[in-house]
Amino acid sequence: MMNCYRYLLLVVVIVLEVFLLVRHHSCIAHNNDCNSFCGEISIRLPFRLRTDPENCGYKSFELECEENHKTVLYLSSSARYYVREINYTSFGIRFVDTCVQKDNCSSLPLYPLTQHLLDSSNMSDLYSENTEELVFVRCVNPVAQDYFEYYWMRSYEYISFCNYSASHSLKNEYSYVVVSWENIRVSDLENLCRIEKTMLHTTWDYKSLLSNRHNLTYKDVHDSLLFGFQLSFHDFCCNHHCKIEVDRQSCPSINIWFLSLFKYYSNCLTFICLPFFICKLCCVYTGAHHVLLFIFGGPFVTGFLIYKWRRRHLSMYDNIEEFLQTQGDFMPIRYSYSDIKKITKNFKDKLGQGGYGTVYKGRLRSGRLAAIKLLGNSKTNGQDFINEVGTIGTIHHVNVVKLIGFCVQGLKRALVYEFMPNGSLDKYLFSSEINNSISTEKMYEISLGVAHGIEYLHRGCAMQILHFDIKPHNILLDENFVPKVSDFGIAKLCDTKNTVVSLTGARGTIGYMAPELFYRHIGEVSFKADVYSFGMLLMEMAGRRKNLNAFANHSSQIYFPTWAYEQFRKGKYIDFGEVDATEEQNRITKKIIVVALWCIQLKPDNRPPMHRVIEMLEQDVESLELPPKPLLSSQVIEDEDIEIDEHPIEIRDFTNDYSDSISLLVDVE
């Protein structure tokens, strides 16, 4: 099938090239009624003489034939040039300034032949190739021959060289010619020198004046001026020939109806003796070639883009299918995309949206509610999907969200979870609404449940699962407020025997990420990264506020963990604003904070493993020892010489309940 598709693409390309090739035309077709001569110069399409009939030639290519049989070209109303040659094979016209005399080497061009003059002339359709610039300079004092660093110039004694009598005022001046490929600047001239004239010069047969600069004389410069300057009408012929032929009705009407073989002249495909009806067909094609290109080229370009797009996405699909085939009978239910649409009632009830996709509420055929995460475009080649299915798809724990099923159908991917009616924990931590408040006792139960869930991921499975994104938004609550760890999009599976994990880049959410993910030499990345994230979660659960709050009443309260530590160290009571808090509630809050301070220690070796964290949460607060003061990243950089990890970091942030990760790459400065 793929070979057939490639052959089809090849045929389309060949057809396009043929159409593009046939589009080229030339000015070779003859019309004997318009052909004329001025001296030895043949005048025919696209050129014309002023005395020719209106249907001959092209107005902007008009020449004049003087009584002395010299052909004159006007680039402006006053700039006159003698035409030396018109070559209809190479599509070139060569002309010389009328003031340049053969036997007088001191004769200079009267008109400055510049690119501006060419562009503003009647023959602006003509263009020049292989040009050099000649600059005529006159100086009061002689100039050293090697003065110009970027230009070569040759001084000449114009009296001895040119044998002409100059006026007395010029006898003490010196004349020079500067030959250059670039424009000369006034700042390049020596003092008391002035530019008299500039003009373009054509290099012939790649023998430029610059290439022969070591043996160059002024006579060489004069001979070059005398030979003339050349413009090409090649492109004009290829683009306008058919229009000229039909408009002027100059196709031959005699009984010579044949089309010659194709011939190339300077890359222009030519037709000789085109009959009128073929010229007419040519013009029809010229007007319709864009339509033809759209008809043939449009599907080709569209097909090519679809092919590349499908190749990229099929690669992701193949990776996912290969993974699913290796999992055997351990997989959850596989749904079709039509099943997903039925479950969600055509995606009617939207719960939230994030960087990895959109979450909808649905109902299974059994009547059970479910949350369906419809994954969006992924830059990880399906790795986020594989991570989710490969972790929670094979484990079952009361504190880990259950994956009921999944959908992989072409580019469409979806995950079906058990529905959590109470949403995520962040709604209860940072909300000022009374209806969303949770008691201190219930908050403690939630913290203990989350700890059990993380501990199960670290030690209860055949493979150790590192979550790397523990935070309030990823803790879901069922109808009884039993916590469930969710969102395993950036989780990593590793052998239980390995305590150290190799990562190509840091991952997680700013504010919950362990410092070893940012800074080298603090410690190796391991399951202790989840312990740190859990500690930051505990801090927010105890304080019912973000750990970093720029709007705190006092500057010392901006970073909550440091402020709480100082309060405990000084033996002060922490008032969290809870109305009628009991002594037992204060003890629970203090215990949660002390355990959190142990979890957020800077170095991984100083943090307890999760099974020890559970033991500490179940102990009496009096038996817990206050850990060392937790340090901020800024303090670490000031106190220690630590290199910053420059690997890309996958940062995740959240806004809505049930929304998924918003992922982006940044470089750590």
Query: How does pLDDT run across 525-550, given as a tens digit for each residue?
Result: 999 999 999 999 999 998 887 876 64
Task: Extract the tokens encoding 422.
Answer: 């109470």
- Coil, helix or strand for 338? helix
Q: Which pLDDT value is given to residue 248?
A: 38
Portion of the chain with pLDDT greater than 70, in percent: 61
Which of 119-128, 405-414, 605-614 has the highest average model confidence (pLDDT)?
605-614
β-pair type (152-156, 131-139): unpaired
Phi-psi region of 333 (alpha: psi -120 to 50; beta: other; left: phi over 0): beta
Q: Which pLDDT value is given to residue 539?
A: 92
Q: Which pLDDT value is given to residue 348?
A: 93
**CA pair distance 631, 515, nearest whole angstrom:** 10
Q: How confident is the model at residue 552 (pLDDT cuts 50, 70, 90)?
A: low
State the average pLDDT over residues 255-284: 40
300 exposure class (CB count in 10 Å sphere: 0-12, 13-18, 19+)? middle
CB 399 within 8 A of CB 449: yes
Average pLDDT of every residue of the chain: 72
Which is more confidently placed, 584 or 306?
A: 584
Catalytic positions, written as ranges: 469
Q: How confident is the model at residue 337 (pLDDT cuts 50, 70, 90)?
A: very high
- Coil, helix or strand for 218? helix
Angle made by CA atoms 207, 213, 219, in degrees to the nearest 5: 80
Is the pLDDT confidence value at 478 over 70?
yes
Q: Which pLDDT value is given to residue 250?
A: 38
State the average pLDDT over residues 619-644: 66
Which is more confidently placed, 272 or 307?
A: 307
Is the pLDDT confidence value at 667 over 50?
no
Contacts of 354 (CB under 8 A, 6+ apart): 654, 655, 656, 659, 660, 661, 662
Q: Which pLDDT value is given to residue 565?
A: 86
State the average pLDDT over residues 405-411: 84
**CA pair distance 267, 24, nearest whole angstrom:** 9
Q: Which pLDDT value is given to residue 630?
A: 80
**CA pair distance 595, 532, nearest whole angstrom:** 11
- DSSP 8-state secondary structure symbol assigned to residue 260: P
Q: How confident is the model at residue 242 (pLDDT cuts 50, 70, 90)?
A: very low
State the average pLDDT over residues 357-370: 91
Task: Extract the tokens encoding 533.
Answer: 């994230």
Q: Which pLDDT value is given to residue 382?
A: 65
400 exposure class (CB count in 10 Å sphere: 0-12, 13-18, 19+)? buried
Which of 361-365, 374-378, 403-407, 663-667 has the highest average model confidence (pLDDT)?
361-365
Give residue-wise pLDDT tens across range 182-195.
555 555 666 777 77
Is the pLDDT confidence value at 252 over 70?
no
Which range among 37-41, 312-316, 350-354, 588-592 shows the weakest confidence by mean pLDDT? 312-316
Give residue-wise pLDDT tens across range 303-333.
767 766 555 554 555 555 555 555 544 567 8
Amino acid at 367: G
Is the pLDDT confidence value at 556 over 60?
no
Q: Which pLDDT value is given to residue 625?
A: 92
CB 271 within 8 A of CB 28: yes
Which of 268-277, 340-349, 405-414, 422-431 has the highest average model confidence (pLDDT)?
340-349
Is the pLDDT confidence value at 155 over 90?
no
Q: Which pLDDT value is given to residue 240?
A: 60
**Which residues carry a binding-site annotation for ATP?**
373
Portion of the chain with pLDDT greater than 90, in percent: 23
Q: How confident is the model at residue 650 (pLDDT cuts 50, 70, 90)?
A: very low
Q: How confident is the model at residue 289 (pLDDT cuts 50, 70, 90)?
A: low
Cis status of the peptide bond prior to 609, with omega within 30 of 0: no
Which residue shows structure tokens 């073989």?
261
Q: Which pLDDT value is given to residue 116?
A: 67
Which range among 263-277, 289-303, 564-578 shows the weakest confidence by mean pLDDT? 263-277
Phi-psi region of 435 (alpha: psi -120 to 50; beta: other; left: phi over 0): alpha
